[in-house]
Amino acid sequence: MIYLDNNASTKVDPEVAAAVAQAMELWGNPSSVHAEGRRARRAVEEAREEVARLVGAHDAEVFFTSGGTEANAKAIYGAAGTARGRVVRSGAEHPSVRGAFAVLRERGYDERVVAPERSGTLDLGKLEGALNGGAQLVSVMLASNEYGAMHPVPRIASLAKSAGALVHTDAVQAAGRVPIDVAALGVDLASFSAHKMHGPKGVGALFVRRGMALVPHTPGGGQERRQRAGTENTPGIAGFGVAARLARRRLEAEGPAIARLRDRLEGAILAATPGAEVIGARVPRLPNTSAILFEGISGQSLAIRLDLDGVAVSVGSACSSGTPAPSEALLSLGLSPEAALRVVRLSLSRWTTEREVDEASARVSTAVDALRRGATAAAELAAV
């Protein structure tokens, strides 16, 4: 299998797996004061330091969660508080952010959505319009999980702060793939997830700027400085720390190398496949992400065909009761529902090789051609 679905999840690095296995022996509760508890606490705090270093934060600004979805929810509900004011997000956001904003809307908040341009970028003039009159919270992802476009978060944060808003960015897909400095971004809150950077599933983190009062989303115990109750997932957190350390050390070399492979993959597919378009190709993107629209076929059919051919990709749609539905993020770009259902995402990692890229591009082009010929034959038969 040629695995090109790394935006969904990545292969766990062997060093991370070893750290998780070792931490399984730390059976003490990190909140306990005895020796076994202190051993577990040390592992948690060492991991916190590594995650903080990766994103340019202070250790005390990093809070562990069960993943990116919880980190997003904690940030949004915590920052929105109980005063039902205006909250602003981009149309490109992950379902976990859209879902949290939908809950706020149901509770009486004034939700404003800023759709990205067809190119994938955000029009800051539209954002200013949404902020006119002030806002409580602005949430814009650092990079799209579906087509990789990077958003100008520092400029967005500046506009939001001028309007009196707190700023959150979902940095789940960007962390470990591009350099991140939360201070330079100018955000108050940022979400991260281990399994997008070759770490374990089920563990994430939320950056909370020092001095910010955040309403706890999960009250109860005193863990995570009373911001996230519940016994810490020591093995997962330890693995996250190692994954963050490896990402930080390898980032400078890996990012450009992966981008070259992505460009090679796109170039080969476009050259051999008429009627193909890379979404967001003209704006800054994550180095590993390619979303391609193929005219004349459904993305789901192509993904199934490629799975049978030994290539793992994902589609730009969600499936409910067996019926594909176009991605809201792709629709927000101005794509028609039919066009959004023709998009396939290919996402690379540090493990992707040049041979895999060349083989995958050939298999994609062959599969697209076969599906188009099949669609043409079916249409001709129906016309008889």
Find where tokens 């997830």 sit: 193
DSSP state of 177: T
Q: How confident is the model at residue 146 (pLDDT cuts 50, 70, 90)?
A: very high
**Which pLDDT score, from 0 to 100, does residue 317 have?**
61
Helix axes 124-131, 153-162, angle to 10 degrees: 20
Residue type, 46: E
**Which pLDDT score, from 0 to 100, does residue 320 have?**
44
Are the CB atoms for 215 and 228 separated by under 8 Å?
Answer: no
**Which pLDDT score, from 0 to 100, does residue 350 have?**
96
SS3 324: strand
Give the tens place of pLDDT for each residue, 159-190.
999 999 999 999 999 999 999 999 999 999 99
Are the CB atoms for 53 and 244 separated by under 8 Å?
Answer: yes
**Which pLDDT score, from 0 to 100, does residue 223 have?**
85
40 is catalytic: no
Give the tens place of pLDDT for each residue, 185-204.
999 999 999 999 999 999 99
Question: Distance of CA 251 to CAs 42, 172, 256, 346, Å?
Answer: 26, 15, 9, 20
Nearest to 153 by CA among 171, 135, 173: 171
How is residue 86 written in tokens? 């205006």
**Which pLDDT score, from 0 to 100, does residue 376 have?**
67
Give the tens place of pLDDT for each residue, 362-377.
999 999 999 999 876 6
Q: Is the pLDDT of residue 324 over 90?
A: no
Are the CB atoms for 164 and 134 separated by under 8 Å?
Answer: yes
Q: Is the pLDDT of residue 380 over 60?
A: no
The C-alpha atoms of residue 380 and residue 376 are separated, in whole angstroms, by 6
- Annotated catalytic residue within 212, 215, 319, 378: 319
How is residue 356 written in tokens? 């895999």
**Which pLDDT score, from 0 to 100, does residue 321 have?**
43
Q: How confident is the model at residue 221 (pLDDT cuts 50, 70, 90)?
A: confident
**Range 331-361 burial, b when 16+ CB lie within 10 A, else e:** bbbebeeebbbbbbbbbbbbebeeebbeebb
**Which pLDDT score, from 0 to 100, does residue 69 have?**
96
136 versus 374: which is more confidently predicted? 136
Nearest to 347 by CA among 278, 289, 277: 289
- Over residues 26-51, mean pLDDT: 95
Go through the domains of the chain in sequence order and give each one's CATH number: 14-247 (3.40.640.10), 251-383 (3.90.1150.10)
Q: Is the pLDDT of residue 235 over 80?
A: yes
**Which pLDDT score, from 0 to 100, does residue 323 have?**
60
Mean pLDDT score of the chain = 94
92 versus 321: which is more confidently predicted? 92
The C-alpha atoms of residue 97 and residue 130 are separated, in whole angstroms, by 18
Is residue 357 within a helix (H) or strand (E), and if so which, with residue range? Answer: helix 354-383
Q: Is the pLDDT of residue 322 over 60?
A: no
Its sign, for the CA torsion 160, 161, 163, 164, is positive
Predicted TM-score of the model (pTM): 0.94
